[in-house]
Chain A
Amino acid sequence: MLIRLKGGRIYDPANGVDGVVRDILIHDGRIAADDPTARIDAEYDISGRVVMAGAIDPHTHIGGGKMTIGRMMLPEDHRGQERARTDLTRSGTGFAVPSTLAAGYRYAEMGYTACFEPAMLPANARQAHMEMGDTPMVDKGAFAMLGSDDFLLRQLAAKEDFNAVKDYIAWTMHAAQAIAVKVVNPGGISAFKFNQRKLDLDESHVHYGVTPRQILRTLSQGLVELGVTHPLHVHGCNLGVPGNFATTLDTIRAMDGLPIHLTHIQFHSYGTEGDMKFSSAAAPISELVNAHKNVSIDVGQILFGQTCTASGDSMRQYGNTKSANPKKWVVMDIECDAGCGVVPMKYKDKSFVNALQWAIGLEIFLLVDDPWRVFLTTDHPNGAPFTTYPHLIRLLMDKGFRRDMLQKIHPDAQKASIVGSLDREYSLYEIAIMTRAGPARSLGLKDRGHLAPGANADVTVYRDNEDREAMFTTPEYVFKNGELIVRDGRIVKVVQGATHVARPEYDAGIEKSLADYFTRYHTVSLSNFKVSDEEIIRHDRGSIVVQPTGARV
């Protein structure tokens, strides 16, 4: 099958292509080199259209127990948000915590072709994969959470050989079928189980005597030495606490050049100035990020309206329960592995704090120079549901629109923010970096996020439109592996995406200590803890793509 997309304007930053008009050839699911003599089976005239690789969301909570807790807890989120079944698609519901099927369809309708669940507890990995298996249309992958699990904390407390730590990290990635590793409130989720209510970068865990700094450095160094492409994905200490920007700055410095990805950094960029003791620290944060090439970020932009926060950070989410809206929430201690907190939230533009959070996110977007190191996220659904991305893109691309929106927020927040004075407007090329090329490179997705010959033909075609929100809401065509799956925002074919994993080497000897640990303390056996390929392939009707890792050192 040979398809020609004729005459589109191509934005393909991974290959330095910035708005060049040319044809794209798709041969059996992959991008092919142009060949004017080739016999074409299907041709789409897309002159004047904007063409990008399929979008990639590197941080979206789409699968796993905490989302299902949110779904169960919030029937009011789903009522009035039904999606009826069609001859092609299943029914679904939901706005902030959509059902899996609805989420997959909606992502594809917006031109996304891959989504990564960033907080997969290894103990909950099987369910996370089952939910992702029921998320059609898009490729997916997940980051295994480490850093508050008792096995690692015991290793660190006992000052075990670093190779054993690396073996354990790699083993966990295999067992949980993960592509990367995330740490959430390093050590803090465990500390909360010991009734510690706060754990700063250099504070010691009451039981293990280990500090977040140690955990961060160990995990980051471990991943580097294991050859894992995506740097340690860090949800830092003190999420949401006014004044936490100092910890965030210290965290960057603490890494001494070791690579980290600071996720939803907006929630970690708060100062304590002003009457409300709440202020923006976007400027110092952005400045330090700009100066540290080892750091990448995603923003976790908040947008106004009802949503639901869901995090592994039981300690901080417990602290946030006082703002729950509606007034109900779940906090869990989980399996000597991690925890979770699910707290519904309604961000209001007339609330000073929420309005300033909104402004802080935008300030960071506009102050961080290098779009290759900042990814466009709302930390779905924590800052806002992913369906708000087109609105967020317009805020970044259109300063007039941004200023209009700024006029609507709490007046004191307007005054407290520099957003109004920032003239930067993102270009289509930069949007393509933040939503495609950047995440693909950071996650180590070999054949995704770009349009060079050989790449998987995940392609999104937009009608150019000054109203960028409208443009990015409803692409004209979306191709997945060369098949047309969406036309004019409607699904025309249902496909099942692949699951991306990374499999760094480990010494199987680690299973000796793990077997001992599991037998002595766990309620699941070591062998059943591991999620098998067969489960994803046969039971979830999926497929697995093993992305390359570098050599272990």
Chain B
Amino acid sequence: MPTASQGIESQASNGSGLDTFTSVTCPFCGLHCDDLEVRNSSGADAGHLTIARNGCERAARGFERRPPPSSPQIGGRDTDLATALATAARLIGGARLPLYGGLGTDVEGVRAIMALADRSGGVVDHHLSAAIQRNMGVLQTQGWIMSTLTETRNRADLVIVVASDLMTLHPRFFERIVAPAEAMFGGVPSDRTVVLVGDCGHADAITRTGVKHVVEIPSANDDIPVVLGVLRSMLKGTQLPARDDQRVPFNELADLALRCKRAEYGVFVWAPQALAFRDGDLAVQIVTDIVRDINKTTRFAGLSLGGNDGAASAASVCSWQSGYPLRVSFASGAPDYDPYRYDIRRMLEAGEGDLLVWTASFDPEAAPPATGLPLIALATPGMRFSREPDVLIPVGTPGLDHSGRLVRCDSVVSLPLRQLRPSRLASVTEIANAIAASL
């Protein structure tokens, strides 16, 4: 277990007793901006972090939160860590089908939970797997043409957002990727046109980030696949459905089709988490179809955001270690992939599994679903549970309390995380490894 101040890298002791860290990676959404400047307070307030530069409200909620005092607990009563670990190991050792859910942790944490799940014949699932699956279904049936954040930042001359409120899910996307001060190619970034298809939150919020041209194409969520289907037909020049379909803004789409044709490098952007409506995966499929069509003559790409709460790290690590993206069972002794069957929420409702091991190291709101099963929670302090976990082990937040790495939403770049304050909280990795060692 870590000692109080081990591994602290104070970048600038500026005499005021503050530790200031620059180029800090933010773990609180899948963009993982790494331009933050974060300060650790001194004196009585030591350990309280404040963002001095860059960041966003979402980041502030994460960095500046004051985690309440915490202790390992068994059935709601404080205990020491050794007892909690031994109890957790006993529960896991005795379980026939432990369910490892939540998975809100860094690469190292996912690795450790994967090892534990492999060893104990359990199921692994991230609490945002439904969003991941909207993309995976498309990747596994037809694949796609994709871009990444830096490529889009420097190259996109048309950005089309599909039914995603990015200002909430990935608040700095427009500021950093669409309207940065400079781009390598294609003129002044703030002159780029952003087209919002469907519900993408308030356009004013987007203009405030520096984007000058925002075009809105309203559509109800449930109509998004139809609307995108019409856009695809227009681009392909195929026969359109009757123009009296009230759901379809034909003129606006005709205008968008023209923009797509003129673009040198257009990018469709979506946050899979936002597509939580009927046929949300079909929206991903049609978007990637359109991108493929356009690439026959000119360049275009998709850019999926997402990856919040460590979801991209969980999906990537699970893929390289087991061969499959999430929702994998090790019950047979080898990885078995079934994104429907090994949905832990579904399993709990269906009475499958006999132990829930829940990991949530970033977000106190990411609590486990209510369950009658015994529950082990490796959770950031301050989480409210619908009932006391059988074993609760408070864990540190990667990138605040300990170092680590996270995979970014584009599944290409990963970022290092640093420890910013002394912490008595162990990492998920340390806890999971300690449990595995005593199984």
Nearest CB in chain B to that of A538: its residue: B403
Let me know if A415 is at the binding interface, CB within 8 A: no
* Residues from chain B with Cβ under 8 Å of A318 in the complex: 295
Closest CB-CB distance, A273 to chain B, in whole Å?
Answer: 30
Let me know if A528 is at the binding interface, CB within 8 A: yes
A193–B299 CB distance below 8 A:
yes
A73–B139 CB distance below 8 A:
yes
Let me know if A37 is at the binding interface, CB within 8 A: no
Let me know if A454 is at the binding interface, CB within 8 A: no
In Å, the complex CA distance between A527 and B416 comes to 10
Let me know if A336 is at the binding interface, CB within 8 A: yes
A532–B416 CB distance below 8 A:
yes
Tell me what chain B mostly uses at the interface: helix, strand, loop, or mixed: mixed
* Residues from chain A with Cβ under 8 Å of B325 in the complex: 72
* Residues from chain A with Cβ under 8 Å of B16 in the complex: none
Nearest CB in chain A to that of B119: its residue: A85
Let me know if B86 is at the binding interface, CB within 8 A: no
B334–A328 CB distance below 8 A:
no
Per-residue 0/1 for A83-106: is the Cβ within 8 Å of any B Cβ (1 yes, 0 no)? 111000011111001111110000
The number of chain A residues with a CB under 8 A from chain B is 67
Let me know if B216 is at the binding interface, CB within 8 A: no
Nearest CB in chain B to that of A130: its residue: B107
Closest CB-CB distance, A26 to chain B, in whole Å?
Answer: 31
Question: Given A124-B413, A193-B155, A332-B148, is A84 in contact with B140 using a C-beta cutoff of 8 Å?
Answer: no
Closest CB-CB distance, B437 to chain A, in whole Å?
Answer: 14
A73–B143 CB distance below 8 A:
yes
Which of A5-13, A63-71, A169-177 contacts the other chain? Answer: A63-71
In Å, the complex CA distance between A422 and B335 comes to 45
In Å, the complex CA distance between A552 and B185 comes to 35
* Residues from chain A with Cβ under 8 Å of B299 in the complex: 192-195, 333
Let me know if A290 is at the binding interface, CB within 8 A: no
Nearest CB in chain B to that of A99: its residue: B323
Question: Given A335-B151, A522-B150, is A328 in contact with B143 using a C-beta cutoff of 8 Å?
Answer: yes
A336–B413 CB distance below 8 A:
no
B334–A82 CB distance below 8 A:
yes
B115–A90 CB distance below 8 A:
yes
Question: Given A65-B411, A333-B148, is A72 in contact with B319 using a C-beta cutoff of 8 Å?
Answer: yes
In Å, the complex CA distance between A251 and B184 comes to 30
A-contacting residues, B142-189, CB 8 Å: 142-151, 153-155, 176-177, 181-185
* Residues from chain B with Cβ under 8 Å of A337 in the complex: 150
Let me know if B214 is at the binding interface, CB within 8 A: no
Closest CB-CB distance, B243 to chain A, in whole Å?
Answer: 33
In Å, the complex CA distance between A333 and B181 comes to 22
Closest CB-CB distance, A331 to chain B, in whole Å?
Answer: 5
A91–B335 CB distance below 8 A:
yes
Question: Given A328-B142, A332-B148, is A92 in contact with B323 using a C-beta cutoff of 8 Å?
Answer: yes
Within 8 Å by CB of A84, from B264, B324, B334, lies B334
Tell me what chain A mostly uses at the interface: helix, strand, loop, or mixed: mixed
Question: Given A195-B264, A328-B141, A336-B150, is A150 in contact with B184 using a C-beta cutoff of 8 Å?
Answer: yes
A330–B416 CB distance below 8 A:
no
Let me know if A370 is at the binding interface, CB within 8 A: no
Nearest CB in chain A to that of B115: its residue: A90
Closest CB-CB distance, A469 to chain B, in whole Å?
Answer: 26
A521–B334 CB distance below 8 A:
no
Nearest CB in chain B to that of A517: its residue: B184
Within 8 Å by CB of B182, from A75, A102, A521, lies A521
A78–B335 CB distance below 8 A:
yes
Q: How large is the interface on B (under 10, 10 to 19, 20 to 34, 35 or more residues)?
A: 35 or more
Within 8 Å by CB of A524, from B324, B337, B415, lies B415
Let me know if B23 is at the binding interface, CB within 8 A: yes
Question: Given A524-B34, A539-B405, is A71 in contact with B414 using a C-beta cutoff of 8 Å?
Answer: no
A-contacting residues, B115-142, CB 8 Å: 115, 118-119, 136, 139-142
Let me know if A140 is at the binding interface, CB within 8 A: no
Per-residue 0/1 for B323-349: is the Cβ within 8 Å of any A Cβ (1 yes, 0 no)? 111000010111111000000000000
Question: Given A90-B115, A527-B23, is A332 in contact with B145 using a C-beta cutoff of 8 Å?
Answer: yes
Question: Given A85-B119, A329-B143, A521-B184, is A91 in contact with B322 using a C-beta cutoff of 8 Å?
Answer: yes
Let me know if A525 is at the binding interface, CB within 8 A: yes
Closest CB-CB distance, B361 to chain A, in whole Å?
Answer: 16
Let me know if B82 is at the binding interface, CB within 8 A: no
In Å, the complex CA distance between A73 and B330 comes to 20
Let me know if A214 is at the binding interface, CB within 8 A: no
A331, A333, A336, A520, most chain B CB atoms within 10 A = A333
In Å, the complex CA distance between A100 and B324 comes to 11
In Å, the complex CA distance between A523 and B322 comes to 30
B23–A127 CB distance below 8 A:
no
Question: Given A130-B414, A336-B184, A525-B23, is A75 in contact with B319 using a C-beta cutoff of 8 Å?
Answer: no
B321–A524 CB distance below 8 A:
no
A192, A342, A522, most chain B CB atoms within 10 A = A522
Let me know if B250 is at the binding interface, CB within 8 A: no
Question: Given A71-B324, A336-B154, is A78 in contact with B319 using a C-beta cutoff of 8 Å?
Answer: no
Let me know if A425 is at the binding interface, CB within 8 A: no
A539–B143 CB distance below 8 A:
no
In Å, the complex CA distance between A334 and B407 comes to 15
In Å, the complex CA distance between A327 and B404 comes to 37
B264–A75 CB distance below 8 A:
no
Within 8 Å by CB of B143, from A98, A330, A334, A335, lies A330
Let me know if A408 is at the binding interface, CB within 8 A: no
A332–B25 CB distance below 8 A:
no
Q: Give chain B's interface residues, CB within 8 Å of chain A.
A: 23, 25, 33-35, 107-108, 111, 115, 118-119, 136, 139-151, 153-155, 176-177, 181-185, 264-265, 295, 298-299, 301, 315-317, 319-325, 330, 332-337, 403-405, 407, 411-416
Given A98-B323, A520-B181, 10 more A-B residue pairs with CB atoms under 8 Å apart are A65-B411, A68-B316, A78-B324, A93-B323, A126-B413, A193-B151, A195-B264, A335-B151, A525-B23, A528-B34
- Going nearest first, the 4 A-B pairs with the smallest beta carbon separation are A82-B334, A93-B323, A328-B143, A78-B323
